[in-house]
Amino acid sequence: MRFSFTTQALVGAVAVSALTVPRSVEKRLTLIDLKQFGSFPTITPEQAHSQAEKIKGPFSDGPQFNFPKIIGGNKSPSAGEDKVVTTSAAAADGTCDRNNPKVRVEWKNYSPDDRKAFLSAIKCLMDKPSAGGFQGSKSRYEDIVSVHQQMTPNIHQRATFLPWHRYYVSIFEDLMRNECGFNGAFPWWDETKDAGHFADSDLFTDEYFGPLPGKTSNGQGTCIDTGTFGGLRLHIGPGSGFQDHCLSRAVDESLTGTVSAQFVQDCNSRTSYDDMRGCQELGPHAYGHNGVGAVMAEVQASPGDPIFFMHHLFVDHSFRIWQNADASRTTSINGCSDANSPCTQITMDYVLSSNGLKANTTVGNVMDTMGGYLCYRYDY
């Protein structure tokens, strides 16, 4: 024990004293055992396909957490916003010209210049110091990771999952634009086009997110040493812990093969929001995470792998497609917002929080992606 402590202290000292850290030192980043990352709970594609099956997902057997209060009827419309386009009762703070929203462009149609600018802006957040107050964070990027880790009990396996992650991805977008000068269109990733061969996507090349290796012969992940994020040191996770470790991946293409257009459609054929949500969360969403593997397969700190955001842009796209089928799907929601028994029903006034990364908002403000608080659509 004493010996390993000394070794770690020495490595730390070298890393701090030399700004130009040689690769040989970076390689000493700890590769965390694959088992420690765990995985997202799943349903099978067959379960999703069976119309009779309603999938909500279990959540009652976890530890008890503090849930945000439901606040209703205390919102006042902001003054002086005469251009607000309110086709949704929930639209508030902000304007959106529905004929000219931002367009999220699928990766394959996303220009090389936009791709470069997008990756540079993520790197920029990683190179910026933390704003402070985010547990375990050592960079502005990790401020975002920390919020997901800390909020995990409130945002998974319940109705909050889709609206909260929509809000979360929009915060990532805001920080890139406001703090790193990104001014292009945002991308999304149509995973159904790459199902079964994620590793062949040019997302996973050194120019962009770096490689996507399979499990090693001894069943482990691999530290990503090359590409935009080569040698990245993560300080948050796995789980609720804080451990210095490398960004690792371990693709399982039999799992990514499940992220098919059929699976997405089977989930989206459900008319009840919460049935659809459970199916998407435990279905395509979970398989994308588990398929990429390692850091991405860990529920709390998976945003440590920046491909997380491409994945959640895909999940948000599926949600938007479901909403497009019926106007009422942007003005109503159902399901549990907590794990109490009986649970508290989610409402449009449910408060979404990011622990101060961005001001709180409500579910109602994010249900319509062109409602004013948000202003985007997808290219298809």
Ligand X SMILES: *[C@@H]1O[C@H](CO)[C@@H](O)[C@H](O)[C@H]1NC(C)=O
List residues near ligand X by CB under 6 A: 68-69, 351, 353, 360
Q: Which residues, 6 or more positions from 9, have their beta carbon under 8 angstroms from its beta carbon?
A: none
Q: Is the CB of 268 or the CB of 353 nearer to ligand X?
A: 353
Report the nearest approach of ligand X to the CB of residue 142 (Å). Answer: 21
Residue by residue, DSSP assigns 330-373 as GT---SBSS--SSPPBP-TTBEE--TTSS--EEHHHHHSTTSSS
| Cβ closest to ligand X, residue 260 vs residue 360 | 360
By beta-carbon proximity to ligand X, the closer residue of 59 and 67 is 67
Question: Are residues 140 and 303 in contact, defined by beta-carbon separation less than 8 angstroms?
Answer: no
Residue 373: closest CA among 90, 28, 49: 90
Separation of alpha carbons 38 and 85, rounded Å: 44
Query: Strand (E) positions, 156-300?
Result: 187-188, 222-223, 233-234, 245-246, 248-249
The pair of three-digit structure tokens given for residue 227, joined into one six-digit string: 């590409």
- Provide, rounded to whole angstroms, the least separation between the CB of residue 361 and ligand X: 9
Which residue, judged by CB position, is nearest to ligand X in the bound state? 68
Strand pairing class (222-223; 248-249) = antiparallel
- Least distance in angstroms from the C-beta of 352 to ligand X: 8
Q: What is the CA radius of gyration of the chain?
A: 21
| Shortest distance (Å) from residue 369 CB to ligand X | 22
**Least distance to ligand X, CB of residue 126, Å:** 26
Nearest distance, CB of residue 351 and ligand X, angstroms: 4
Cβ contact 188:310 at 8 Å: yes
Can you tell me the distance from the alpha carbon of 56 to that of 279, in angstroms, rounded to the nearest whole number? 7
Rounded to whole angstroms, the Cα distance separating 182 from 113 reads 12
Residue among 143 and 252 whose Cβ is closer to ligand X: 143
Closer residue to ligand X, CB minimum distance, 69 or 83:
69
* CB closer to ligand X, 268 vs 337: 337
For ligand X, the closer CB: 68 or 214: 68
